[in-house]
Amino acid sequence: MNDFFESALAERPVMAILRGMAPERAVAVAGRAWDLGIELVEVTVQSPDAFPALEAVIRAGESRGKPVGAGTVVSVGSLRRVAKLGGRFAVAPGFDPAVVEAAAEVGVPYLPGVATPSEVQAAAAAGLRYLKAFPSVVLGPAWFRALAGPFPDVRFVATGGLDARNAGQFLDAGERA
């Protein structure tokens, strides 16, 4: 699981997140992201009606050799559906050991969200080295510097409120992506 994120984020530490788009629009935006050099595209599936957009982007990604994943994957059922559609990774706003276990079973790299040292410790104990820090803009760059001490082997992907104006602050604080 960790190897996927290590290699996928090695050269371009950016992930495009598509939320609430119709399938056609999602495919167009994903294509633009790929054209700009963004390798990872995530389509959030916070409701069942978002799965058609995910499936359309997965198919578009397959035709271009690009990995597409699902975001807001908060249940084992959703994780299994993502895997069945061919999702290459899954992301969540929080840490749920049952979903982590299911992801390992179906072979889908999983990036769960954390916001406390206890969550980081639990995720690391579950074998995860890459974690989504959410909501990053609320946690702030100092949070990442503080957690680097007790968790030097954990790599964080900042999500939630980041944009071109503030992303550099988070990368400078030691975030992976």
Looking at the structure of the chain, the number of domains it has is 1
Residue 84 pLDDT > 90: yes
Average pLDDT over residues 10-28: 94
- φ and ψ at 17, to 5 degrees? -120, 120
Element spanning 127, H or E? none
d(C-alpha 126, C-alpha 112), whole Å: 11
Look at residue 177 and tell me if it is in a domain: no
Per the annotation, the verdict on 42 as an active-site residue is yes
Give the torsion through C-alpha atoms of 80, 83, 87, 90, to 10 deg. 40
Question: SS3 letters for 52-114?
Answer: HHHHHHHHHHHHHCCCEEEECCCCHHHHHHHHHHCCCEEECCCCCHHHHHHHHHHCCCEECEE
Residue 23 sits in which domain range? Answer: 2-172
Q: What is the predicted pLDDT for the residue at 173?
A: 82
The one catalytic residue among 39, 55, 66, 132: 132
Q: pTM of the full predicted structure?
A: 0.93
132 is catalytic: yes
Q: What is the DSSP letter of 42?
A: E
Is residue 30 a part of any domain in this protein?
Answer: yes
CATH of the domain at 73: 3.20.20.70
Q: Which residue in 39, 42, 55, 175 is the catalytic one?
A: 42
pLDDT of 174 reads: 74
Give the model confidence (pLDDT) of 85-117 as tens digits: 999 999 999 999 999 999 999 999 999 999 999
